Amino acid sequence: MWHQPQQALMRIPASVGFALVLIVLYALTYQFLAIGMDPQGIHFIRQTDSLAFASNYYHFGYGLFEPHTYSLESTDGAAACEFPLLYYITAMVYNLSGESFSVLRILHLTIISIGFLAAFQFIHRRITHFVIASALTLLVITSTVVMYYASNALVDSAALGFTLWGIERFDRYRTFQRSSDFRLSILLFTLAALLKITFAIWPLALFGALFSFQKPLQSRLNPALLIPIVFSMLWFGFAISYNRQSGDDYFLTSSIPLWRMSTIESTQLMDAVTHYWIGSYYPPITRWTLLTAFLFILSNIRRIQQFEIKLLGVASLGIACYFLLMGRAFINHDYYFLPLVPLALLLLAAAGEAFNRIKTITSIRVLSLALVLLCCASSFYVREKLERRYYASNDPFDDAANGLHEELRHHLLPYPGQNETVIVIGDPTRNGSLLYLKSKGITYPNFQFYASEWENRRVPQHATTLYITGALSEEWEQKTSATFQAHGTTWYCYTLNR
């Protein structure tokens, strides 16, 4: 009787089993709670920028190639960054569900979850033991950065999901020689590169690894791996032109190479990578595991498949170039680490193939237990880090917008009309408060900055409503023809009679 549950468990498909493991991991790392959260905490600014794209598609009916935000720092808010397909899809879902920040989070979590399952299949194809394959996959994905952005508004997690899925499909193609798998991998790599051009590292790495490889069929299809790069460059060119026409220079559409950094920035970068962010990339125990895997591959390089060695080498070269071109972004943006995650997958998969040579049941059990303990340690480490990000973080950039949102929600302040132009004084973000007001306008970090802009006549003359953290003086009420309308705990609302 005891063997019956065990046999039933063995009949569960491996991918289904790993999906159940993922659900446990998601519960442990607050993914299901995060889905219902408003934008907050680390990179609040970029979260609200992303949600502003989706909200503008929904409220103003722009076409796919007309991305807009709420900020009138550019002409009518027109601005482009990553390819806006997921924002456009989110707006379409809004038409059915109503506007909810959860939609974009769920979409990103769904895509990256498919990527996680694909990563497991990639490893399981090499390491047939379910527990070992699951544990190695968990070591790849139990990163604070990976899990924080898994259900976030930033599209970087979706780009990672498409990349992991693309690598698995390409590996399936090499194994089974089905052209449909190859075509799907190209599509997935293209989507990833369009969302974040930095993920183009991976189709380029595969192209380099396959260059002059032995099979004629692969050589004939190799150039197709450049399709993601071509499409991402086309979008990149469009975005630069679109932003130039709309007068926007806010979104990053160029490289920020290391050799242009100042001495101060170089010091900041070293401190950020080696001290501030490093614990968020991977737990210490995972970093030691990856180093061990790397040393194992070096010492057994003749036993590893030639293609995998080539891929690791070319990918490492690509990552070095990536860091040279975009390294400065690592100072303030932890999500720039995400394009490196597939390298961890390749390292552990290549090193893990040696586990298939273990024959004794006792050795397999000991190894499985050790890896499970490693996964538990890394998972709880990530849980603790995420708990701080979600519940103990104190990000000054989200205070103003969230405070305004609370007072709007409790009807202490009125909402402006959707077609009205608003001015917000006291918000250091570009789209944070405007995202809650659902109106286009301009934000100013403080009154002094607003006053300077007003004196220089750089304030929108057609603005009709003003929100400010504090009452206007009589002098400024007269200067701006402002009429008091309402106030909450910290915010005041005025009508501008111009």
pLDDT, one tens digit per residue, over 268-277 is: 778 877 777 7
226, 341: one domain? yes
- List Cβ<8 Å contacts ≥24 apart for 356-359: 356/126, 356/127, 356/128
Residue finishing a domain among 340, 363, 392:
392
109, 152: one domain? yes
pLDDT for the residue 280: 85
Structural domain of 384: 12-392
Say if 126 falls within a structural domain: yes
Bridge partners for 424 per DSSP: 443, 467
Residues near 196 by Cβ (< 8 Å), separated by ≥ 6? Answer: 82, 155, 156, 159, 339
Is the Cβ–Cβ distance between 224 and 182 less than 8 Å?
yes
pLDDT for the residue 257: 75
Say if 274 falls within a structural domain: yes
For the chain, residues with pLDDT lower than 50 are: 1-6, 9, 216-217
28, 173: one domain? yes
440, 314: one domain? no
Q: Is 43 exposed, middle or buried (0-12, 13-18, 19+ CB in 10 A)?
A: buried
202, 234: one domain? yes
| Strands (E) located in 157-259 | none
Structure tokens at 245: 């026409």
**DSSP per residue over 466-485, as a string?**
EEESSPPPHHHHHHTTEEEE
Please choose, from the candidates 115, 300, 295, 310, the residue with its C-alpha nearest in 3D space to the C-alpha of residue 199. Answer: 115
pLDDT for the residue 5: 44
- Mapped onto helix, strand or coil, the DSSP state of residue 369 is helix
**CA end-to-end distance (rounded Å), the chain:** 83
116, 242: one domain? yes
- Mapped onto helix, strand or coil, the DSSP state of residue 292 is helix
Q: How far is CA 459 from CA 243, 455, 480, 483, in A?
A: 21, 9, 11, 17
115, 20: one domain? yes
CA angle centred on 260, ends 257 and 263, rounded to 5°: 120
Residues 72, 463: Cα–Cα separation, whole Å: 11
Sign (positive or negative) of CA dihedral 118, 123, 127, 130: negative
pLDDT for the residue 389: 87
Say if 427 falls within a structural domain: yes
Say if 7 falls within a structural domain: no
Say if 5 falls within a structural domain: no
Residues 77, 434: Cα–Cα separation, whole Å: 11
Say if 6 falls within a structural domain: no
Q: Is 392 exposed, middle or buried (0-12, 13-18, 19+ CB in 10 A)?
A: exposed
Residue finishing a domain among 343, 376, 392:
392
pLDDT for the residue 4: 47
CATH number of the domain where residue 438 is located: 3.40.190
- List Cβ<8 Å contacts ≥24 apart for 181-185: 182/221, 182/224
Residue finishing a domain among 356, 371, 392:
392
440, 380: one domain? no
427, 378: one domain? no
Q: How many domains does the chain have?
A: 2
